Structure 1
Amino acid sequence: MSTALLIEQLLNGLQLGVMLFLMAAGLTLIFGVMGLINLAHGSLYMIGAFACAIVASATGSFWIGLIASLVAAAAAGAIMEVLVIRRLYERDHLDQVLATFALILIFSEGSRWLFGSFALYLDIPPLLQGAVPLPGGGQYQLYRLAVIGVGISVAVGLHVLISRTRLGMRIRAGESDREMIAALGIDIQTLYTVVFALGAALAGLAGALVGALQSVQVGMGEPVLILAFVVIVIGGIGSIKGALVGAILVGTIDTMGRFLLPKTLALILPASQAGMIGAALASMLIYIVMALILAFRPRGLFAA
């Protein structure tokens, strides 16, 4: 195994991790502030990807499509919060799960009706095409490095927003004692809508960025949503820092597990069996890690 190949896989794990962070940050923000389990968060990821693909195709500009993904996902999130989610805050989690699962079906069938069952494709913008050299003689796609940079920049921006701004102060206060900040004259409903739209925009951004690496299609958000829930459970519900650490941990373990386990098992098993068993074990690995972390840290690594 060459050094360049190992570095490439580590970078792939980091890229998957920052993409999961964009999903998990919005999810943990919504759950931490509102106490809401939003299964439809993956649908906002899909909306961002579709908006980017359609607008980029119509205008010929990936960057305009990227802005459209943020606007479309944030608008869909705000509308969802006002029309549906707002009625669920005082309900138990089962009602929240059922209502947001219904939203998944509505968004999926609505997207299939509007765009059909065919996949759409996004072209990587010319500015980010090409590759950069890696130590050991390999190359790595420039666009994937840009995705990593965007994820890290968003993490820094969220940290500044939450810890250094007046909106962040209100978000932290709403997480701690929503009745008190309402009594102090803060419009709690508007705050919730803003937080929900922010979380939706992050999901839409993740969908748009990933859309240039894989196809854009109906239902693309559900598999990522499962991983995002694993991330926030590992990192600690309500913690942005936990979401970042958990996302990078999950992305790296999943990628390296799929890369190393078949090669390791091939030393003692036939290649066909090693590939099959290694793939099965790799898909279980992040859940095993989650179970081990929860056994010692029931509230996650960085409980809010």
Structure 2
Amino acid sequence: MTFSLVLEQLLNGVQLGVMLFLMAAGLTLIFGVMGLINLAHGSLYMVGAFACAVVAAATGSFWLGLAASLAFAAAAGALMEVVVIRRLYGRDHLDQVLATFALILIFSEGTRWVFGSFPLYLDIPQLLQGAVPLPGGTAYPLYRLAIIVTGGLVAIGLTLLISRTRLGMRIRAGESDREMIAALGVDIRTLYTLVFALGSALAGLAGAMVGALQSVQVGMGEPILILAFVVIVIGGIGSIKGALIGALLVGVVDTMGRFLLPQIVGLFMSSAQAGPVGGAIASMLIYLLMAAILAIKPRGLFPAQA
């Protein structure tokens, strides 16, 4: 094990954390402002990935595909909110879970019907191909570094939006007392639709950027949705800062655990056994982390209304 290898895995963990943040930021806004459990958020991640892949293949431009992912995911999210989600506010969480689970099935089967069951592929844009040298003589892919930078810029932009703009003021007020801001003349339905579209666009952006690292396929949003829920529970529901810190914690712990634990277990077991045992323990690490944090801070690290 070398320093450069550890640094590379650490950067991989940060990159995973940034992707989780893009998912969790929209999810925590929706959960915090509307009190809605949206299991279909992963489907919007998938919509963004498919939109980017299709538009990029048709135009030859990854950047047009990226813009399409934002537009299509935001539009799909807004349509979902107006047609279905709007009827679930104030309903029992079980109703929300069942309705949004049904949306997962609708999105998955609809996507399979339109694009088929075969995966699509995205090429990394030429501008972001290549690698950046790291200390120790190895190199790290430039595209992954661009994902990290993009996540940082999104975090800054969301923080400014929430803390410095009139829309952000209304979002914060909606978290605290939605009846009061409705009584003051704010169109709460339009606000909810805007928040939902914003969260959906972030999920679509995450899906588009990951699509260049892996295949774009039906059902790709469900595994990352589980991690996104872990992130917002760790960070604190409704908190952008909490989503960022929680996502980085989950990304680094998961990646470094999968890298280090098989080697540590290999000190006590044969190499044939160390891989499966270490991988099994590593897959539990983020849930152990969540349990430990909630035991100390039951509302998460940075709850929005703390």
- TM-score, normalised on structure 1? 1.00
In the alignment, residue 149 of structure 1 is paired with which amino acid? V
RMSD of aligned C-alpha atoms? 0.4
Q: What residue in structure 2 maps to residue 166 of structure 1?
A: 166
Q: What residue in structure 2 maps to residue 98 of structure 1?
A: 98
What runs of 5+ residues in structure 2 fail to find an aligned partner? none
Q: What residue in structure 2 maps to residue 144 of structure 1?
A: 144
2:300 paired with 1:300: yes
Which secondary structure does the structure 1 equivalent of 2:22 belong to? helix
Deviation at 1:19, TM superposition (A): 0.2
Q: Deviations over 1:38-87 (max 9, x none)?
A: 00000000000000000000000000000000000000000000000000
Q: What residue in structure 2 maps to residue 88 of structure 1?
A: 88
Q: What residue in structure 2 maps to residue 288 of structure 1?
A: 288
The whole-number CA distance in structure 1 between the counterparts of 2:182 and 2:303 is 25
Q: What residue in structure 2 maps to residue 133 of structure 1?
A: 133
The whole-number CA distance in structure 2 between the counterparts of 1:292 and 1:8 is 27
2:113 paired with 1:110: no
The whole-number CA distance in structure 2 between the counterparts of 1:4 and 1:126 is 26
Deviation at 1:176, TM superposition (A): 0.6
Which secondary structure does the structure 1 equivalent of 2:214 belong to? coil
What runs of 5+ residues in structure 1 fail to find an aligned partner? none
Q: What residue in structure 2 maps to residue 269 of structure 1?
A: 269
Q: What residue in structure 2 maps to residue 205 of structure 1?
A: 205
Q: What residue in structure 1 maps to residue 28 of structure 2?
A: 28
In the alignment, residue 160 of structure 1 is paired with which amino acid? L
Deviation at 1:90, TM superposition (A): 1.5
The whole-number CA distance in structure 2 between the counterparts of 1:296 and 1:2 is 35
Which secondary structure does the structure 2 equivalent of 1:132 belong to? strand
The whole-number CA distance in structure 1 between the counterparts of 2:10 and 2:286 is 16
Deviation at 1:273, TM superposition (A): 0.4
In the alignment, residue 134 of structure 2 is paired with which amino acid? L
Q: Which runs of 4+ in 1 moved over 4 A?
A: none
Which secondary structure does the structure 2 equivalent of 1:140 belong to? strand
2:241 paired with 1:259: no
Deviation at 1:272, TM superposition (A): 1.1
The whole-number CA distance in structure 1 between the counterparts of 2:71 and 2:60 is 18
Q: What residue in structure 1 maps to residue 238 of structure 2?
A: 238
In the alignment, residue 175 of structure 2 is paired with which amino acid? E
Which secondary structure does the structure 2 equivalent of 1:108 belong to? helix
Q: Deviations over 1:195-254 (max 9, x none)?
A: 000000000000000000000000000000000000000000010000000000000000
Map residues 39-78 of structure 1 onto 2, 5 A cutoff.
39-78=39-78
In the alignment, residue 230 of structure 2 is paired with which amino acid? V
Q: Deviations over 1:248-299 (max 9, x none)?
A: 0000000000000001111121001000100000000100110111111110
The whole-number CA distance in structure 2 between the counterparts of 1:157 and 1:224 is 23
Identity of aligned residues (%): 80
Which secondary structure does the structure 2 equivalent of 1:38 belong to? coil
Which secondary structure does the structure 1 equivalent of 2:6 belong to? helix
The whole-number CA distance in structure 2 between the counterparts of 1:224 and 1:17 is 11
The whole-number CA distance in structure 2 between the counterparts of 1:185 and 1:290 is 40
Q: What residue in structure 1 maps to residue 279 of structure 2?
A: 279
The whole-number CA distance in structure 2 between the counterparts of 1:58 and 1:303 is 43
The whole-number CA distance in structure 2 between the counterparts of 1:294 and 1:265 is 27
The whole-number CA distance in structure 2 between the counterparts of 1:112 and 1:183 is 44
The whole-number CA distance in structure 1 between the counterparts of 2:169 and 2:267 is 55
The whole-number CA distance in structure 2 between the counterparts of 1:264 and 1:152 is 32
